[in-house]
Structure formats: C-alpha cells, structure tokens
Amino acid sequence: MRRRRDGMMTRSGARANTLALRVAALCAAALPGCAHTEEEVRMQTALPEPMVFAVAPILNFSGEFSLDPVKAADLLASELTFVNGATVLPVSRVVAVLTAQGKTQIESPEHAVRVADAVGADGIIVAGVTEFEAYTPILGVAVQLYLTPGVDPRSVRQVSTSRMMAPIEFTSATAPVSQAQATYNGNHEYVADLIKQYAAARDEELLMGWRQYLKVQTLFIRFCWHDALNRLLAQYPGTESVAADVGQTENPS
C-alpha cells in the first residue's frame, strides 16, 4: 500500500483497500466452475504499486456494428482484474459519467483523464477495435493507458504524442503512459499457440478444449484483451512480467 512521506495513505492506496472485497467478489462470480484457482489464472504481470483502473467503452473503428462497446469493455475490465496490484472499477461507473456529460465515448486524452478522475481512478484504459470478423475469428485492438493528475508523473515514462497509434490518435499535449496494438487472427499458428497457453490455465473441461476459444466470440475476445493488456502493462515503468511472449511482437497477425 502506498504512503506519502508524512505517513498518510495515498489516494490509490485508500481506494485499493476499500474496493478489495468488492473486486474479489466480482472475480469469484465471473469464474463459476473453473477447474483452476484464481491464482493460477492471474496474469503473469505485477504492477509496481497498487492502482485503481477505470475502463472506457470501446471505440469501434472496425465498421462492424454488431460489436457492443460496453460489453466489450466489460470483458476487458474482467481480464484486467487478474493483474496483480490492479483494482478495477465497473465499466458502468464510466458509462454513468459519460451519460451525464451527454457523451457515449472518450473524445480526447484530456477527456479520458477527466473521466478517470471523476470516477476516482488512478488511470483509465482506452481501447479501440480496429478490425473485427466474428467467424474467422479476427480481432484487431489498440489499447492505451492514461493517468490522472493524482498519480506521480515522475514515476512514469510517457509516450510521445507523435508515436500515438493512428486509430486513437488525438491532437493533444496529453500522452498515454503506455500503449499496445495487435491483430489476432485465429487462423494463424502463432495466435493458436497463445490461445493454448491461455486456455491451459482455465477451462480444461470445455468440450472442445482450447479450440472453444476460436468458436465462442466472447472467449476469443477475452483472450485478445488478456494478451493486449500484458503487452500494454509490460511498458509501464516498474512492471514485472515473466511471460516470455509479452511485448516480443507488436502485431501477432
């Protein structure tokens, strides 16, 4: 738990403490009947200090209108709960703030930071879907992390705005502290190998085994968010990761 030099608890430390039981209950409800313990399926990524995250509704650049931005964000938030040190606020909290503003999505980096601050988060993840084919399956994603002013910027390596990914490129002086982009094609052997690793620690009792992640849309999307989050957080200063595949390839398509 983080504390200031005067011994007082930081904002993120207090939030992490008060929300821990709620998040634990959400995780337990999200994994009924799993053959493995929660510890076994946690991401092989650990944040340097506890953080409270918000997740924004997904930005859809794919042209596929069947993709639900809020449901896709819920899946992303669910996978984020398996990061050691992360406390994740419900996506509905972000939706409520956006609705009060008369908006449905994040419109700029400054807007992202304001929304994160409004819901009491240390940072907010803004993700976009750049390509989506449900039956192949193919999913292209771009993910960025923005921090609120309450998080010490001296401990963060910011990414230059000139290197921001085109799908979520805003004209702004505010830059994401980390970002990742990848396209996952279920027909490619590299992606299949990653899915096997992901599935091995989870649903070993599925009728079709790891191939179920290529057949069920929500399972495939979960896998993609899991890998994209590992890539995103691997860039965060001080983050520990022992996953050999994390950050090795910018686009595994």
Res 204: pLDDT: 57
**Which domain, by its residues, includes 130?**
11-241
CATH code of 155's domain: 3.40.50.10610
In a domain, 111, yes or no: yes
In a domain, 248, yes or no: no
pTM: 0.72
Digit-coded pLDDT (tens) for 101-152: 999 999 999 999 999 999 999 999 999 999 999 889 999 999 999 998 866 5
In a domain, 1, yes or no: no
In a domain, 251, yes or no: no
Tokens of 200: 């091995």
Digit-coded pLDDT (tens) for 85-96: 899 999 999 999
- Using DSSP's 3-state secondary structure scheme, residue 167 falls into helix
In a domain, 119, yes or no: yes
Q: Where are the alpha helices (DSSP H) in 32-126?
A: 38-41, 69-80, 91-100, 109-118
**Would you tell me the crossing angle of helices 91-100 and 109-118 to the nearest 10 degrees?**
110
Integer CA distances (angstroms), 20 to 27, 49, 80, 211, in order: 11, 14, 14, 34
In a domain, 246, yes or no: no
Distance CA 221, CA 245 (A): 18
Q: How many domains does the chain have?
A: 1
In a domain, 126, yes or no: yes
Give the confidence band of 29 by pLDDT, cuts at 50, 70, 90: very low
In a domain, 5, yes or no: no
Dihedral sign for Cα atoms in the order 209, 211, 215, 221: positive
168: CB partners within 8 A, 6+ apart: 59, 126, 128, 142, 144
